Amino acid sequence: MKSQKEVSWIYFFLGLACFLIPGGVAVFIAYDRGISFAPVLMFAGIVIWGGLFWLFPFIEKKFRKGRNIVTFDERDQLIHKKSVMAGYVVLWIYFVAVCVAAWCIVGPHGSISVNVMPLTLLRGSSFLRLCRVWHP
């Protein structure tokens, strides 16, 4: 169990670096050189990967159904689902908090930079990953 936790932490830091760095780079490339296909594709791929990568063990299980090797049992599924749910709840609360904070800062007639939203989603996805690691 301890080794599983360690592996989970390693995956967390690797995953965080792998999607936060290119995600931030994609947003700043778009800001600096204008919209092109590459940064948009980078951003889309990274956010989708950050938000939906947790489905991978379930898909893997579907493909391994015919074989007798059990790598992801019912208990693992339950823990995995609980952690993902906690992650999504935190992501949702974070998004609502950002919306309310922006509203309070700029006022009801103000406007915000469009770059804030992709960065918010990227940060929210990192919270999702963090919750998945910390959840018991």
The residues that touch another protein, with contacts defined as CB under 8 A, are 27, 30-31, 34-35, 40, 43-44, 47-48, 51-52, 81, 84-85, 88-89, 91-92, 95-96, 99, 102-103, 106-115, 117-118, 121
Where residue 99 falls (left for φ over 0; alpha for ψ -120 to 50; beta otherwise) is alpha
Q: Which of 2/75 has CB closer to another protein? A: 75
| Spatial distance between the Cα atoms of 116 and 82, rounded to a whole number of angstroms | 29
Q: Tell the smallest beta-carbon distance from residue 103 to another protein (Å).
A: 6
Q: How far is the CB of 6 from another protein (least distance, A)?
A: 26
Which residue number, 70 or 99, has a Cβ lying nearer to another protein?
Answer: 99
Query: At its nearest, how many Å lie between another protein and the CB of residue 86?
Result: 10
Q: Tokens 């995600």, residue?
A: 23
Q: Which is it for the CA torsion 58, 59, 60, 66, positive or negative?
A: positive
Q: Least distance to another protein from the beta carbon of 97, Å? A: 11
Structure tokens at 10: 């390693």
Say which amino acid occupies 81: K
> Considering beta carbons, is residue 71 or 115 the nearer one to another protein?
115
- Of 9 and 92, nearer to another protein (C-beta) is 92
CB within 8 Å of 79: residues ≥ 6 apart: 135, 136
CA–CA separation, 112 vs 93, rounded Å?
20
